[in-house]
Structure 1
Amino acid sequence: MVSLSDLQKAERIHTVVLDQPTSSITGTRSTMKLLWTLSFSLVALAASIQSTDSSCDDFPTSTLEFTSEFQQPKPPLVKPEFQTSFIQHKWNNNLSHITSGYIYFSPSQNLVRADEAYDGGLASSIFDYSKTNKEGLVLNKLTSYEVNSTDPTVWMGYVMSNYPLFTEDFLIRGDAVFGGLVKRNLLTKHVASWNLMYSSIPVTVFVDACGVVVGYDYFSPGLRTRVVTDFFNIAIGPVKV
């Protein structure tokens, strides 16, 4: 059975555990050193990647609310393969959790990988969207290091992921509704907001004028949880997870 500590840990990091784990093992000090090295390389990589083009800031005047020429635009195609730095804030009545790191989105491989730092710890998580159960939960392998730990903990099980897989036409297939042009915390220009249901959860996805996903927010009714995620240093192109 899933223990209370497993539930609290998964919720604090980046997943909501809804099924039993398939394994729980410990690793070696060499693995720990590798992940610490990875965390520093991610910082260097994030600093070196250029942001999206400034030409992606312009939207037609027909997308402006309360104007006579307004027309709801059709959901756009998005850039599906990309990697990005991110910061995420999750909160409910029981927690307020902020994490940051680097994510790899690869629909061609049916994989999302998130490497992150939180509360003095480190975690690396792979979500395999080719392996889902009958409830629609995704297979997740989580490697984590707590504060002052000498060995990693590796956990595997089915979860509802905090990190969706953004296929090129997911807004179209989800029949997304335009939510207007909005400002995000890390961006100076407006982006388009799109509202849709994703695995029974209301999600708002933010997309620039070039079809680049720059973040998303959602509300999880079960635990009354709000999650805000911003992307920056976005690199578009094939990803090897």
Structure 2
Amino acid sequence: MQFFQLLVILAAGAWPVSAASCHPFPSSVIEFSAGFQQPNPPRIQAEYQTNFLQHKWNQNLSHITTGFIKNSPSQNFVQVDEAYDGGLASSLFNYANTTDDGLVDNILTAYNPQSNTPTVWQGFVNSNFPLFPEDILITYGAVFGGLVRRRFNTDMVAAWDIMYQGLIPVTVYVNHCNVMVGYDYFSPGLRTRVITEYFNIEVGSKSLMSRYHK
């Protein structure tokens, strides 16, 4: 609980982007305005690192985790360092190595408080942490879902709805600087719902390259 409270205190999210790239949302994207016109999906700033809070649940589980994500389409990886229910884990998802049905190569290093040595596992998984390239909303033909309130964000953000891999409904949340601030999805197979919130977001590739070398 104290760890979660500390993360909330640190949640004054900031993203160092140039003022020229940030334009306020126009009145034409307000859903019930007379001049509403669906906007074209934007390119997002895809090289980023961020703290996150995620809740995943279905009829059989409720799993809350928090930590740090690095998203790097240029290097085809997502790295997730997380804390949950007394445990720690670090996952490297190598999106350069995926199966035909969308499973991704994952190296998981888990730390159990009852053990002095970590457990390392490698295999293909259906990841809770997709790789988000800059053109993901364009490629998937995203539909504008309106301006919404999102935890850890003072201003309203844009919701964009896609069918990830043609199968999974995903909503991607983007601020007026085209920076992702989180995503939600629903997995029909096990009727699983996942909510992921971002905060303390930093965009740019400078600090993303040091942890992964193919």
TM over 0.5: yes
The superposition leaves residues 13-34 of structure 1 with CA deviations (integer Å, 9 ceiling, x where unpaired) of xxxxxxxxxxxxxxxxxxxxxx
Shift, 1:132, TM fit: 0.7
Q: Which residue of 2 aligns with 1:52?
A: 15
The superposition leaves residues 91-140 of structure 1 with CA deviations (integer Å, 9 ceiling, x where unpaired) of 11111111000000100100000000000100000000000112221101
> Equivalent residue of 2:126, what SS?
strand
Q: Which residue of 1 aligns with 2:203?
A: 236
- Pick aligned residue for 1:187 from 130, 153, 164: 153
Q: Which residue of 1 aligns with 2:192?
A: 225
One-letter amino acid matched to 2:127: S
Query: Does the 8 Å contact 1:104/1:114 carry over to 2?
Result: yes
Q: Does 1:157 align with 2:145?
A: no
Q: Which residue of 2 aligns with 1:72?
A: 38
Q: Which residue of 1 aligns with 2:107?
A: 141
One-letter amino acid matched to 2:196: T
Residues 148 and 136 (structure 1), Cα distance of their counterparts in 2 relative to 1, 3 Å cut: same
TM-score by length of 1: 0.77
Q: Does 1:169 align with 2:135?
A: yes
Residues 237 and 53 (structure 1), Cα distance of their counterparts in 2 relative to 1, 3 Å cut: closer
One-letter amino acid matched to 1:222: G
CA distance in 1, matches of 2:198, 2:11: 15
> Equivalent residue of 1:161, what SS?
coil
Q: How does 1:82-93 map to 2 (within 5 A)?
A: 82-93=48-59
Over aligned residues, Cα RMSD in angstroms? 2.3
Structure 2 unaligned spans of 5+: none
Residues 128 and 87 (structure 1), Cα distance of their counterparts in 2 relative to 1, 3 Å cut: same
Residues 82 and 67 (structure 1), Cα distance of their counterparts in 2 relative to 1, 3 Å cut: same
One-letter amino acid matched to 1:51: A
Residues 121 and 112 (structure 1), Cα distance of their counterparts in 2 relative to 1, 3 Å cut: same
One-letter amino acid matched to 2:172: V
Shift, 1:48, TM fit: 11
Residues 188 and 53 (structure 1), Cα distance of their counterparts in 2 relative to 1, 3 Å cut: farther
The superposition leaves residues 23-58 of structure 1 with CA deviations (integer Å, 9 ceiling, x where unpaired) of xxxxxxxxxxxxxxxxx9xx99x9599613697583
Q: How does 1:92-103 map to 2 (within 5 A)?
A: 92-103=58-69
One-letter amino acid matched to 1:77: R
Q: Which residue of 2 aligns with 1:211?
A: 178
